[in-house]
């Protein structure tokens, strides 16, 4: 940390230091403020919501200047423009993705009207679409292994043969050539869970040839077998690897440190919030149901209304599915290290979103509470609500102490590791459009939460350390060569904030209330300027509406 001025010319940083005597068309007085590189969100899910909110509202208000999207094994490209709904059903493993995609497509029961016209198929066409409309922040993409595997093999629960691998390699190569920064995988849900280690190694070799990054949502975020598998993939392919929202324990931390000591470029990223709004029906379904997804949720919910199927689900299918989620195909199965928890955490699953009027009263209650209110057991409450809502129920998986206090003890410990990056795991949102009906606090407060809670208040991190984990660390993980530092010749992505007042205001309580129409200002305070490629996109809490963001294509810049 040091006192200096930053000069910007033609969108790039021209000088850092004493610029006395220089003339400028515009001067920002940043005395008593911190001037840092723009924050880089290395794990975002704005594939669909950016098409509705291209100015990047909830992210630029935090000081985010660059996002990486296409995470957890899926992306908005490549996609079959004529049969988009098939991929939509597959992607319903995650609640927010379903919500924003169905909002874009006007899939019932959400009455938004069509928000997006799908006129692309390939990665290149998608990036052209984003570039053509203009964006308020820099935008980069990964391609998703799950999407590639789906279009080659469908939802077949088997290991890929050589013909399958050849086709997946071709798709991976095309995505990388057209601008993807690498590959993400989602190994805890299908079809990613059916891929063995060898399949992932082969695709990562393609990514490595293009100096890309491999970002796995592992089979488990905390089992050592999951970490071990991805370290094996990194070693055999040589690919740069960033483990997505990973909870390292003492043993897995030692494994990663040993891999790094051997020269492997392995890092990980974490979410500061003590929970995630990512729950939905599909990730809990057994294989025989998931393979029928493209028949639609009407078929699935009809099955779940049958008492015999419910009994089989509880006693056979769900325990088997939980074990499949954490196992590596072709390798000995590992037991859950935290105990064989073969029952959902009903007390931690808070209902966030339903579509029918009759079930509105359950919003904000856990499934344990819903069961008590209905006078049934939690499984019955879950089944009944899924059937009544035709599959569209969204819930929060909560691991904290209070829906208002966003402190996370686990994050505090992991944030001290030098090579970690901070991620939001949330999409671009805005209170001005469709996303206000399903609000995720991580989209509004991730980076100010770290600065206020873990730097200023708890002093877990120094200012310099926190900023590094929001800027240069994620820039390295993604492979950005000219962003993430305030350095001459780098693009002028800059965040200015007041260290005395910077504060998040979005939590799981007030964001749920915003979703229900109760007004709260959930934008952070203390972030005063966000500058993207030398252009101010947020000034003292006001979005300027400018769209100077670059669509980033595998280390090649093209201005919108």
In sequence order, the β-bridge partners of residue 525 are 503
In 144-292, which ranges are continuous DSSP H helix? 145-153, 162-177, 197-209, 224-237, 250-261, 287-290
Cis peptide before 342 (omega within 30 of 0): no
Burial class, 357, CB count within 10 angstroms (exposed 0-12 / middle 13-18 / buried 19+) = exposed
Q: What local confidence, expressed as pLDDT, does residue 93 receive?
A: 40
- Say how far residue 403 (Cα) sits from the centre of its chain: 21
Listed as ranges, residues in the chain with pLDDT below 70 are 19-21, 84-115, 278-284, 287, 290-296, 332-342, 434, 555-560
Q: What is the pLDDT of residue 545?
A: 97
Yes or no: say if 510 and 496 are a contact pair by the CB < 8 Å rule. Answer: no
Q: What is the pLDDT of residue 386?
A: 87
Instruction: List, in order, residues 6 or more apart from 336 with CB less than 8 Å away.
Output: 220, 223, 322, 326
Contact residues for 219 (Cβ-Cβ < 8 A; gap 6+): 187, 188, 193, 225, 226, 229, 325, 326, 327, 328
| Phi (first) and psi of residue 23, to 5 degrees | -105, 150
Structure tokens at 406: 């966003």
- Phi-psi label, residue 4: left if phi above 0, alpha if psi -120 to 50, beta otherwise: beta
Distance CA 227, CA 496 (A): 37
Per the listing, tokens 């370290």 go with 231
Spatial CA neighbour of 139 closest among 215, 218, 21, 54:
54
Q: pTM of this prediction?
A: 0.94
Q: What is the pLDDT of residue 365?
A: 96
CB atoms closer than 10 angstroms to residue 288: 12
Q: Convert the pLDDT of each residue in 439-472 to its tens digit.
A: 899 999 999 999 999 999 999 999 999 999 999 9
SS (H, E, C) 78-111: CCCCCCHHHHHHHHHHCHHHHHHHHHHHCCCCCC
**pLDDT (0 to 100) of residue 87:** 60
Q: Which of 309-320 are b and which e, b meaning 16 or more Cβ less than 10 Å from the residue's Cβ?
A: bbeebbeebbee
């Amino acid at each position: 940390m040091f006192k200096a001025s930053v000069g910007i010319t033609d969108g790039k940083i021209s000088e850092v230091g004493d610029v006395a005597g220089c003339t400028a068309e515009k001067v920002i007085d940043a005395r008593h403020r911190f001037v840092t590189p723009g924050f880089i969100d290395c794990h975002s899910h704005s594939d669909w919501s950016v098409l509705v909110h291209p100015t990047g509202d909830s992210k630029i208000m935090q000081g985010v200047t660059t996002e990486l999207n296409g995470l957890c094994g899926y992306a908005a490209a490549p996609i079959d423009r004529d049969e988009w709904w098939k991929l939509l059903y597959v992607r319903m493993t995650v609640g927010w993705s379903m919500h924003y995609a169905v909002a874009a497509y006007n899939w019932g029961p959400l009455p938004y009207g069509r928000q997006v016209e799908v006129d692309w198929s390939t990665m290149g066409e998608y990036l052209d679409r984003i570039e053509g409309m203009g964006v308020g922040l820099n935008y980069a993409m990964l391609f998703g292994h799950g999407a590639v595997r789906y279009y080659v093999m469908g939802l077949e629960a088997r290991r890929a043969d050589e013909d399958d691998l050849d086709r997946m390699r071709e798709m991976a190569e095309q995505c990388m050539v057209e601008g993807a920064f690498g590959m993400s995988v989602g190994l805890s849900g299908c079809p990613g869970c059916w891929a063995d280690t060898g399949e992932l190694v082969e695709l990562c070799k393609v990514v490595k040839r293009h100096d890309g990054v491999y970002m796995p949502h592992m089979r488990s975020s905390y089992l050592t077998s999951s970490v071990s598998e991805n370290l094996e993939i990194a070693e055999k392919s040589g690919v740069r690897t960033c483990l997505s929202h990973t909870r390292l324990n003492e043993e897995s931390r030692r494994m990663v440190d040993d891999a790094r000591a051997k020269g492997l470029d392995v890092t990980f990223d974490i979410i500061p919030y003590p929970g995630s709004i990512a729950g939905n029906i599909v990730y809990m379904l057994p294989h025989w149901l998931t393979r029928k997804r493209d028949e639609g949720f009407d078929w699935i919910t009809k099955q779940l209304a049958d008492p015999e199927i419910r009994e089989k689900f509880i006693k056979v299918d769900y325990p088997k599915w939980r074990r499949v989620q954490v196992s590596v195909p072709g390798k000995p199965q590992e037991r859950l290290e935290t105990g064989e928890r073969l029952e959902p955490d009903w007390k931690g699953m808070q209902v966030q979103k339903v579509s029918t009027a009759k079930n509105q009263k359950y919003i904000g209650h856990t499934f344990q509470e819903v069961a008590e209110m209905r006078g049934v057991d939690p499984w019955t409450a879950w089944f009944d609500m899924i059937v009544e809502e035709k599959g569209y129920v969204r819930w929060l998986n909560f691991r904290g102490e209070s829906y208002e206090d966003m402190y996370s003890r686990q994050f505090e410990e992991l944030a001290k590791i030098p090579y970690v990056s901070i991620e939001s795991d949330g999409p671009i949102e805005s209170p001005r459009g469709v996303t206000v009906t399903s609000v995720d606090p991580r989209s509004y407060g991730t980076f100010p939460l770290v600065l206020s809670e873990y730097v200023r208040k708890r002093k877990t991190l120094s200012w310099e350390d926190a900023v590094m984990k929001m800027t240069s660390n994620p820039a390295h993980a993604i492979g950005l060569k000219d962003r993430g530092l305030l350095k001459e010749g780098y693009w002028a992505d800059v965040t200015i904030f007041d260290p005395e007042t910077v504060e998040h205001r979005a939590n799981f309580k007030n964001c749920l209330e915003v979703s229900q129409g109760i007004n709260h200002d959930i934008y952070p305070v203390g972030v005063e300027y966000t500058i993207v490629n030398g252009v101010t996109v947020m000034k003292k809490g006001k979005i300027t509406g400018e769209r100077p963001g670059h669509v980033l294509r595998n280390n090649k810049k093209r201005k919108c």
